[in-house]
Amino acid sequence: MSFRYTNNLIGLMKHRVLLERSRRVMTERTFIGRCNGITVSCNANGMVQSIDVSPEAEAAGTFVNAHDNNSVNTELLATSVRTAATAANQDIRRAKEESYRRSIMGIPELKSKYRMWFEEDAGSLRPRPYEALVDEVGATPLLKQIRRDTTTSPLSVPDIHKTLAPGLLTLEDPRRLISEQRREMAEDERDFWHRVELIRKGQSSTIVGAKRSYKDEGQVGQTLKDASQEKISLKFVN
């Protein structure tokens, strides 16, 4: 296993650990969206936890339809709740994409791999909406406290430290290791032949006269060999 592959693999492992830690921290956060005095609180999975109306909106009668016996303006209320929930979900998407960007910027081996910047977005990053039942931490205060102490504390994630990152190699799936190694070797081989092609073009551009292609080199080599043998035989004859 080459040093380049080992360093890149360690960088990928640290990248995944940083993403996992960001996910655990996000599950403890509450994302808030506001519109027309309506406050919608969502967890990291996008589940609505509470909907509140500000006292100012109640005092001003924002959602009261004065032309219909002071009934509730359900259309405006529904639009405000929907807009506030959308704002909260946009905040969740920004937080996930920002954590993904930080996980790449914090690892020197991954900064130059621009392909990774576009591989993930807020739709594919965790926590995902359909994992809400697994990531739910607000069932009771006791469970929430236990979850915080055991999974979210930085001290409980020792593998986050860069000196302990090689320990993650033993936890990786062997099939994943093989696929990553093959991908790295394919990239190295492609870069090698790209450099060979550049060197060949640079050398051929300095040759005076007609340029020869690869298919002509064998014929030219055989012609030169025959000519040298003829010279040797003529030398002995004379």
Q: Helix 3-26 crosses helix 74-105 at what angle (to 10 degrees)?
A: 150
Residue of higher predicted confidence among 99 and 131: 99
What pLDDT is attached to residue 199? 81
| Domain enclosing residue 146, as ranges | 3-165
**Claim to verify: residue 209 and residue 155 sit in the same structural domain:** no
Q: Is 70 exceeded by the pLDDT of residue 191?
A: yes
Query: Does a structural domain hold residue 186?
Result: no
**Claim to verify: residue 198 and residue 104 sit in the same structural domain:** no
Percentage of the chain lying above the pLDDT 90 cut: 17
**Claim to verify: residue 117 and residue 229 sit in the same structural domain:** no
Query: Does a structural domain hold residue 7?
Result: yes
Model pTM score: 0.55
On whether the CB atoms of residues 5 and 184 are closer than 8 A, the answer is yes
Q: Which of 150, 165, 180 is the endpoint of a domain?
A: 165
Best CA proximity match to 188, nearest among 38, 35, 1: 1
**Claim to verify: residue 28 and residue 145 sit in the same structural domain:** yes
**Claim to verify: residue 25 and residue 127 sit in the same structural domain:** yes
**Which residues lie across from 39 on neighbouring strands?**
34, 52
Distance (Å, rounded) from C-alpha 58 to C-alpha 83? 18
Query: Does a structural domain hold residue 120?
Result: yes
Best CA proximity match to 23, nearest among 138, 149, 141, 131: 131
- Segment of 15-24, 86-95, 208-217 carrying the highest mean pLDDT: 86-95
Report pLDDT digits (tens) over 211-233: 555 555 555 555 555 555 555 55
**Claim to verify: residue 125 and residue 49 sit in the same structural domain:** yes
* CATH at 136: 3.30.1310.10
Distance (Å, rounded) from C-alpha 25 to C-alpha 156? 12
